[in-house]
Amino acid sequence: MPQNGRPDENADDGYDRRTVLTGAGTLAAGGLLGSSGVASATSEREPGPKKDELVVGISASAPDVAREARAAVPGAADVVHANETIRYATVSFPSEAPARAREQFIEAIERAEHVEYAEPNATVRSFGEPDDTYYGYQSAPQQVNCETAWETTLGSEDVRIATIDQGVQYDHPDLESAVGDRVGEDVAERGSDPYPSSGDEQHGTHVAGIAVAATDNGRGTAGISDCSLLAVRALDANGQGSLSDIADGIQWAVDAGADVINLSLGASNDYRTLAAACEYALERGVLIVGAAGNAGDDGVAYPAAYEDVLAVSALEGESLASFSNAGPEIDLAAPGAGLVAPVPWDDYGRMSGTSMATPVVAGVAGLALSAHPDLSPLELRDHLLATATDLGLEATAQGAGRVDAAAAVEADSNANENADGTDEDDAGQCGDETVVASADGSLSGGWWGESDRYVYAPRTSDPCSATVSLEGPAGADFDLYVNVDGESPTRWNHDESSAGDGAGEAIDLELSGDEDLRIQIHANAGSGSYAMRIEERGR
């Protein structure tokens, strides 16, 4: 997105939510690389929209993603890109073809044995908004109490924050100290250098600068943290990128050792490729922070709307910014109006948007993890929520409240632990605390049958049991499968199942900790809508 004006010349330089495993256009916005599982694309592949492609998801039982995609594709369509880790391939399809032809093409692909889904390689957009008013001083670090947090830690270089965005001017004087030998990657196949292609490509540098610009270095702006940066270029100069490039970027960042991934981009629709990439990050211990979107209405964008992505709304002062989306999926709020940060080339600019609020939260997450390095991603998420400042806004606007760096750094991350090492909640009875979550969808059965997958992260302080129940339409035959061992369940590999005739199923589980529930709903016969309910009980 374009710069929104220079700073003042005189400024001192000195739980009822869809989970991440499900999904169904336009979306809005060294080392491990050798074994990343991302296959090379055609040499002319560039960042930006790919309206002449479809994404085909391949089941885990197939040994070769690209080969199965080629076998499934009718006619002379080409497989132009494959990701063996997220398990999808992109397939060429004429963008000018009639809608019915596209539908028939998708239907033909989905009939193949190892194909789980087919969907458009949708366009992803960044969430920055232009603002031409000059701005001479920062406000976000002060509003989220960074000065107090910095007395304890400026952020550890061992904590890596990845931005999936436009290119980043990583040799900017305020960013060069945040990068090491592994600067990042250009997953859009223009090479491995995530540098901006032009001066118009400013959004990525601005987002990275909010999170990790050098603090107390006598120049420019202060980032929220001094954590390390991994810059992943997946959007073009217009702030647009394809669904597949975003998925590849998430996977690359996870494999490269990111602790926190910032996604200042999103979509109004749910896509299974995007959900699978977020699931990949969650399963490997990475916290994803996502922007709510800039439509100024109810309806949080994806991937922020996923259960285990930390959804961030934007504040102007102590009110919800007029451009910020809101909804029950919001987890935290952060300043997002008129933030000053680095832009190319060696310059600074002011931008507004949920794109700007999101790296504030990512930076605070980096500070908290620097102070409490033993926190798991889910513990880190809960810690940020527990230490947020309630502004008195509706939960749909602020979630738990405005992120608070000082409280996140200084608060005891084991506040419930007694002096003898036991948990103060241990004496409670199972059921003293309950949380209810639900999800719904629609499936069709048949020879192979459709499936939806979910992941549920326990929300009680000491989970002890849960009941997963399913209700579907009369005449349909839906089965329910659950795993608690970290693996996604299948009809052939699961910890618990309820697979009787009919569409009403239920599973009771005993929980010994905060293990995630991984759920598959499979349609054997019939079709229609279903409703799933999870009742979690804790002590």
- Where do the domains of the chain lie? 52-120, 125-410, 433-538
pLDDT of amino acid 44: 52
pLDDT of amino acid 29: 35
pLDDT at 500 over 90: no
pLDDT of amino acid 330: 94
Provide mean pLDDT across the span 350-375.
94
Number of Cβ atoms within 10 Å of the Cβ of 129? 22
pLDDT at 266 over 50: yes
Number of Cβ atoms within 10 Å of the Cβ of 531? 12
pLDDT of amino acid 14: 34
Query: Higher-confidence residue: 223 or 16?
Result: 223
Query: Higher-confidence residue: 194 or 51?
Result: 194
458 to each of 382, 443, 464, 514, how far by Cα in Å? 11, 26, 10, 6
pLDDT of amino acid 96: 64
86-128 per-position pLDDT tens digit: 888 888 876 666 666 767 777 878 888 888 888 888 877 765 4
The answer to whether residues 79 and 91 touch, using CB atoms and an 8 Å cutoff, is yes
Provide mean pLDDT across the span 200-218.
90
The answer to whether residues 127 and 294 touch, using CB atoms and an 8 Å cutoff, is yes
Spatial distance between the Cα atoms of 238 and 154, rounded to a whole number of angstroms: 33
Domain 433-538 belongs to what topology? Answer: Jelly Rolls (2.60.120)
pLDDT at 3 over 80: no
Strand order in the sheet with 517-525: 451-456, 517-525, 477-483, 496-498
What percent of the chain has pLDDT above 90?
Answer: 37
Spatial distance between the Cα atoms of 227 and 424, rounded to a whole number of angstroms: 34
pLDDT of amino acid 65: 86
pLDDT of amino acid 120: 82
pLDDT of amino acid 417: 44
Q: Which CATH number fits the domain 52-120, given the four candidates 3.30.70, 3.40.50, 3.90.320, 2.30.30?
A: 3.30.70
Spatial distance between the Cα atoms of 523 and 525, rounded to a whole number of angstroms: 6
433-538: same fold as 52-120? Answer: no
pLDDT at 129 over 50: no
Provide mean pLDDT across the span 377-401.
92
pLDDT category of residue 377 using cuts at 50, 70 and 90? confident
pLDDT category of residue 418 using cuts at 50, 70 and 90? very low
Closest CA to 20 of 338, 356, 435, 381: 381
441-465 per-position pLDDT tens digit: 888 887 667 888 898 888 888 899 9
44 to each of 162, 191, 417, how far by Cα in Å? 26, 11, 56
Span 125-410: which CATH code? 3.40.50.200
This prediction's pTM: 0.65
DSSP-derived letter for residue 488 is P
245 to each of 236, 278, 319, 332, how far by Cα in Å? 11, 13, 34, 27
What percent of the chain has pLDDT above 70?
Answer: 83
Which of 23-32, 53-62, 317-326 is the most confident on average?
A: 317-326
The answer to whether residues 272 and 249 touch, using CB atoms and an 8 Å cutoff, is no
pLDDT category of residue 45 using cuts at 50, 70 and 90? low
Three-state secondary structure readout of 324-373: CCECCCCCEEEECCCEEEEECCCEEEEEECHHHHHHHHHHHHHHHHHHCC
Which of 58-72, 222-236, 415-429, 511-525 is the most confident on average?
A: 222-236
pLDDT at 47 over 80: no
Spatial distance between the Cα atoms of 226 and 363, rounded to a whole number of angstroms: 8
pLDDT of amino acid 424: 43
- 13-17, 347-351, 402-406, 523-527: lowest mean pLDDT where? 13-17
pLDDT category of residue 358 using cuts at 50, 70 and 90? very high
pLDDT category of residue 259 using cuts at 50, 70 and 90? very high
Q: Which positions are annotated as active-site residues?
A: 165, 203, 355
Spatial distance between the Cα atoms of 13 and 322, rounded to a whole number of angstroms: 30
The answer to whether residues 125 and 112 touch, using CB atoms and an 8 Å cutoff, is no
pLDDT at 239 over 50: yes
pLDDT at 482 over 90: yes
